[in-house]
Amino acid sequence: MKIALVLAALLAVPTMASATVTTTDYTFSATFASGPYTTLGGSFSIESDDVAGTNILSALDFSIGSAIFDTSNSTMYLAGPDIAIGADIGDPNAVYANTDDFFLSFHASTLTQGILAYATADFYGSFSFDVTVAQDGPGLYVPQASGVPEPASWALMLVGFGAIGAGLRGRRQRQVCAPAA
């Protein structure tokens, strides 16, 4: 009995799942009705780790005139189903006039509802809803609630029930019957 409990306890020890890190590459372009640039475009990559549950901006190649944006001076934010990438100047959801700044936002799963806004040191700013985004890869990691417990959880539950049963069985008092004389 003790050996069976030890074996069940060893089976109940959860094992670490191996991390699956995937990289998704995106390209984007936008056309503008006003401003010094009629079209702008660039690319970026996002690394998704399904075990840690993280999405990280791993690469960015975008420039507006002489201003070059990469991962050292830009940040990615996830707001529900939307990806937002912007320069590290104040509020990431705004573009500051007469600064080298940009803001790109779009719906992550449909690659639609995009907006690209920018400003330069000598231009107040412009925005475009005519944004095209393309994806090469599996996309972002989105946590999903699991409906079925993992095998380690089942084993731990069975060990717990076994321990409760063993404890109750040990408490049972034995009645000794004296032989009739």
Report DSSP state, residue 37.
-
Sign of CA pseudo-dihedral 22, 55, 42, 81: positive
- The pLDDT score that the predictor gives to residue 62 is 93
Per-residue buried b or exposed e for 63-96, using 16+ beta carbons within 10 Å of the residue's own CB? ebeebebebeebebeeeeeebbbbbebeebeebe
Residue 172 binned pLDDT confidence (cut-offs 50, 70, 90)? low
- The pTM score is 0.65
- The pLDDT score that the predictor gives to residue 68 is 92
Q: Are 5 and 163 in contact (CB under 8 A)?
A: yes
**Poorest-pLDDT segment among 14-23, 83-92, 111-120, 161-170:** 14-23
Instruction: Give the Cα separation of 132 and 107 in Å (integer).
Output: 11
Give the tens place of pLDDT for each residue, 55-91: 899 999 999 988 999 999 998 888 777 888 988 777 7
- The pLDDT score that the predictor gives to residue 9 is 52
50 is written with which tokens? 């399904």
Token pair 């070059």 is found at: 68
Instruction: Give the Cα separation of 41 and 119 in Å (integer).
Output: 14
- Mean pLDDT, rounded, of the chain: 80
